Structure 1
Amino acid sequence: MLAGWTYQLKQKRHLARCQHGRMREYLRAAAPCRKADFRQGSYLAVDLEMTGMEADSDHILSIGFVPIDNMRVMLAGARHILVSSPLGVGQSAVIHGIHDRDMVGASALSEAMDCLLEALQGRVLLLHYAALDLAFLREASQRLYGVPLLAMVVDTLVLENQRLQRNSTGQHGQGLRLSDCRRRYNLPDYHAHNALVDAVATAELFLAQVAHRFGREHAPLARIISG
């Protein structure tokens, strides 16, 4: 978990190394305040579809994101961006349903990442199973901007795992897939599947999780930050 001063130090180090205007603008923005109540924060729920699981050899195929402001999902700010892959979609189409024919007019990775940085500026990055998507985002950022992506992260999978650990029954038989977590809060299944739908599903799950955990209790953002 990045303490506030550690995050600010990393911001300065990244700025010293990075010459790219879009990333420098992102890094200059004020970071979310870890001491403030989490309800005062702004978030960006993000989901990726990739050609595989290895960030150093596979590629991002799509990015979906939706903002959360004042603890409300802001669908007007939602985006779904298809990202061109140098190797095509391949067999991964079986998993995510994106085919090469769908990629006509897809954005370059640089355009997609610039768009994501603009939307993420000053916000907390919200992911489900952050380790996987973060690896791809950091790899893409390193390649494009010369520095890995720096962000405060809330992982809904981690929040759910913490809830299960607090329960006397523990994790036995309890799934941590996005759909499994949503069902525990009586959230509906989405039958359509793409990065934007999963980003919205993650945003809704987060709001249900913090409402269940904290109610009206004051809680600083630091209590839910995963990294």
Structure 2
Amino acid sequence: MHPLSRWWMRRRHGAGEWGGLFAAAADGEWVSLDLETTGMNPAKDHILSLAAVPVRDGRLRLSERFERRVHTARAFGIESIRHHRITPDEASSGEQVTDVVRDFLQWLGSRRLLGYYLGFDLDMLAPHVRALAGFALPNPVVDLGGEVAILQRRQRPDAPVNLDFAHIAETLGVPMIARHTALGDATTVGLCWLALQRRGWPAN
């Protein structure tokens, strides 16, 4: 979000229920976010689970994580189940998405968001955030893939960029943890970010 837009939104909404989203973001802290969904189309698919893990002071704070299963009555096929390993019965026993997103926003506050192809997750959250708050999520964001792309281009300008998640993790010496689960992927992204920091990245 452009700083001017954030300033205007803070003036308009900073004293309301969601004022905590506009506080100054703490230095040296990120929240690694991942969603599992019924598919890859934000216009028609639904959130099945949401997990977020704080990354602070060089450590992944799993004990402070946010993790919820989300209810959906929408049918989804075997390929979707093979991907995220959530069955329709499990999905039907989750919490209502409005309740999950409300609790997540209150837990998140103004912290910076971190993710792998984070734009998709934010697109999935966007209609629910707008329905609750009346505006788009204002938090600063950092995309692991984008940062790795910049680093790869600096290190090897003539080589093709490889942003495959498993390749990024392997290159950084990070194990893939519970792949295609919200908590597992959020944890892996957080560990990759810590590995990048140990290498002096981001440089600024």
1:188 aligns with 2:186: no
The alpha carbon displacement at 1:132 in A equals 0.8
For residue 131 of structure 1, what is the aligned residue in structure 2? Answer: 119
Contact 2:36 2:48 in 1 (8 A): yes
| Identical-residue share of aligned pairs (%) | 25
1:26 aligns with 2:20: yes
For residue 68 of structure 2, what is the aligned residue in structure 1? Answer: 81
The alignment yields a C-alpha RMSD, in angstroms, of 2.4
For residue 104 of structure 2, what is the aligned residue in structure 1? Answer: 116
Distance (whole Å) between structure 1 residues aligned to residue 58 and residue 138 of structure 2 = 23
The alpha carbon displacement at 1:122 in A equals 2.4
Provide TM-score, normalisation by structure 1. 0.79
For residue 95 of structure 2, what is the aligned residue in structure 1? Answer: 107
Distance (whole Å) between structure 2 residues aligned to residue 100 and residue 59 of structure 1 = 12
Q: Which runs of 5+ in 1 are unaligned?
A: 34-39, 220-227
For residue 201 of structure 1, what is the aligned residue in structure 2? Answer: 188
Distance (whole Å) between structure 1 residues aligned to residue 88 and residue 198 of structure 2 = 41
Distance (whole Å) between structure 2 residues aligned to residue 76 and residue 171 of structure 1 = 40
- For the structure 1 residues 191 and 44, does the alpha-carbon distance in structure 2 shift closer, same or farther, using more than 3 Å as the test? closer
Distance (whole Å) between structure 1 residues aligned to residue 159 and residue 48 of structure 2 = 32
The alpha carbon displacement at 1:214 in A equals 3.9
Q: Which amino acid aligns with 1:32?
A: A
Q: Which runs of 5+ in 2 are unaligned?
A: none
- For the structure 1 residues 31 and 163, does the alpha-carbon distance in structure 2 shift closer, same or farther, using more than 3 Å as the test? same
- For the structure 1 residues 205 and 138, does the alpha-carbon distance in structure 2 shift closer, same or farther, using more than 3 Å as the test? same
Count of paired positions = 203
- For the structure 1 residues 7 and 163, does the alpha-carbon distance in structure 2 shift closer, same or farther, using more than 3 Å as the test? same
Further displaced range: 192-201 or 82-91? 82-91
148, 152, 160: which one aligns with 1:160 = 148
- For the structure 1 residues 171 and 8, does the alpha-carbon distance in structure 2 shift closer, same or farther, using more than 3 Å as the test? farther
Deviations 1:124-158 (A, max 9, x none): 01111112111111122123333222210011110
